[in-house]
Amino acid sequence: MTAQASSTNPPAASPRKYVPETEGLNREFFENCASGTLHLQHCDECATYRHPPRYYCQHCFSDRWSWEPSSGQGTVASWVTSHFTVDRGWVDELPYTTVVVELDEGPRLLGAIRNMTVDDLHLGKPVRLVGEPKRDDFVFFWVEPLEAG
Ligand SMILES: [Zn+2]
């Protein structure tokens, strides 16, 4: 009997993480974030923030909106720890934990934890999203504790 293929083993590490091509409203979102400040769409009619980017407000259906800076602060809404990756750029960081952050403005965004461990997480934990520009049109988001401890 031959050994099974190593399909459950992670691929060899790569120095680069996959960075997707962006277009349309997603490209605008990431270009704004690459400035160093998280920006969200803000409805000019009803003042609702939204994410992911879209052309119409989900609350009042207005097509009038603008990009507004966000505090980047929010709380932990959920998380998952990945023990396998198909992106060789993440192999050295396995297992890594991705968090859903509910921003103070309302929308939820994803990021990987940094400067804390999964044992530090709990629902409602105050955190901040920190953007790490990978190009002028793409940003990785890290989730860091808002306060020590
Ligand atoms: Zn609206």
Query: Which CATH number does the domain housing residue 29 bear?
Result: 2.40.50.840
The whole-number pLDDT of residue 148 equals 56
Query: Could you tell me if residue 104 is inside a domain?
Result: yes
Domain assignment of residue 57, given as a range: 24-145
Residues 6 or more apart whose CB falls under 8 angstroms from that of 18 comprise 87, 89
- Model-level pTM? 0.84
Ligand 1 centre to CA of 50 (Å) is 9
Q: Respond yes or no on whether the N-terminal peptide bond of residue 52 is cis (omega within 30° of 0).
A: yes
pLDDT-above-90 percentage for the chain: 68
How far does the centroid of ligand 1 lie from the alpha carbon of residue 76, in Å?
A: 25
Confidence of residue 8 (pLDDT cuts 50, 70, 90): low
Looking at the domain assignment, is residue 30 inside a domain?
yes
Compute the residue count for the chain: 149
pLDDT in tens, 39-76: 999 999 999 999 999 999 999 999 999 999 999 999 99
Distant-in-sequence, close-in-space partners of 7: CB < 8 Å, separation ≥ 6: none
Residue 140 in domain: yes
Note whether residue 92 is domain-resident.
Answer: yes
Q: Is residue 81 part of a domain?
A: yes
Number of domains in the chain: 1
Residue 51 Cα to ligand 1 midpoint, Å, equals: 13
Distance 65 CA to ligand 1 centre (A): 8
User: pLDDT category, 7, cuts 50, 70, 90?
Assistant: low
- Does any domain span residue 118? yes
114 CA from centroid of ligand 1 (Å): 34
On the 0-12 / 13-18 / 19+ scale of CB atoms within 10 A, 139 is buried
Nearest to 35, CA basis, from 144, 139, 122: 139
- φ, ψ of residue 86 to 5 degrees: the values are -95, -5
Report cis status (omega within 30 of 0) of the bond before 133.
no
